[in-house]
Amino acid sequence: MASFEHHVFVCTNVREPGSARGSCTMDGKGELLPAFQAAVKEAGIKGFVRVNKAGCLDQCEHGPTVVVYPEAVWYGRVTPADVGEIVQSHLIGGAPVERLRLPQECINTATCPHKPRPAVAVEASIEGSLLTQP
């Protein structure tokens, strides 16, 4: 068998409800992975495209997140409704779906505008409470 032309990694990480970073599988359903697997099979490209579940891809603020290799195209806020377009346009047609692509400056960086800024604890003189400010 020839090697795969594409590897699709679908983040299936689940964080606690209310997490500041969010989660790729907030509802716990994990519908995205089986949607990709079914769409790839239905398109007849299962032998050329490998769909894998991934743990945290460290792009939680953009989740659900999907990355396609070898091109290293990162997609964010992907829904099951987007899967067919990614399969047809990118995996079959070779054209990434631009509306879902993460900006390059947001990938693997601490300065992405979508990531929450670390809170700095400031002791307040009001009733001796501890306040948090950005």
Q: Is residue 1 part of a domain?
A: no
Can you give the CATH number for the domain in which 16 is found?
A: 3.40.30.10
**What pLDDT, on a 0 to 100 scale, did the predictor assign at position 14?**
84
8 forms beta bridges with 51, 68
**What pLDDT, on a 0 to 100 scale, did the predictor assign at position 79?**
92
**What pLDDT, on a 0 to 100 scale, did the predictor assign at position 26?**
67
Q: What is the DSSP letter of 94?
A: S
51-86, pLDDT tens digit by residue?
999 988 888 888 899 999 999 999 999 999 999 999
Which segments of 6-134 does DSSP mark as H helices, in order?
32-42, 83-85
| Number of domains forming the structure of the chain | 1
Q: Is residue 52 part of a domain?
A: yes
Residue 120 has pLDDT above 70, yes or no: no
